Amino acid sequence: MASKPQPWAVLVCRPSDDTSDPAKVLVNSLPGINNPDPNNHQTVLELFNMFLTAQGNNTFNAVRYFNEMSHGSIDLNDSRVFVVKLGLTKAQLTPPTDPPNGAAYEAMVTQAAQARAINQNVPLQNF
Task: Convert the pLDDT of each residue in 20-45 to its tens digit.
Answer: 999 999 988 888 877 767 788 889 99
Q: pLDDT, tens digit, for every residue of 50-76?
A: 999 999 988 889 999 998 999 988 889
Torsion of CA 103, 107, 109, 115, to 10 degrees: 180
Is pLDDT at 97 greater than 90 in this prediction? no
Predicted pLDDT at 116: 96
Predicted pLDDT at 39: 81
Which long-range contacts (C-beta less than 8 Å, at least 24 apart) are formed by 15-22?
15/85, 15/86, 15/88, 15/89, 15/90, 15/92, 15/93, 16/85, 16/86, 16/87, 16/88, 16/89, 17/89, 17/90, 18/85, 18/90, 21/83, 22/48, 22/83
Taking the domains of the chain in order of start, what are their residue ranges? Answer: 4-29+38-126
Could you please report the per-residue DSSP string of 71-117? TT-EE-TT-EEEEEE-SS-HHHHSPPSS-S-HHHHHHHHHHHHHHHH
Is pLDDT at 100 greater than 70 in this prediction? no
pTM of the model as a whole: 0.83
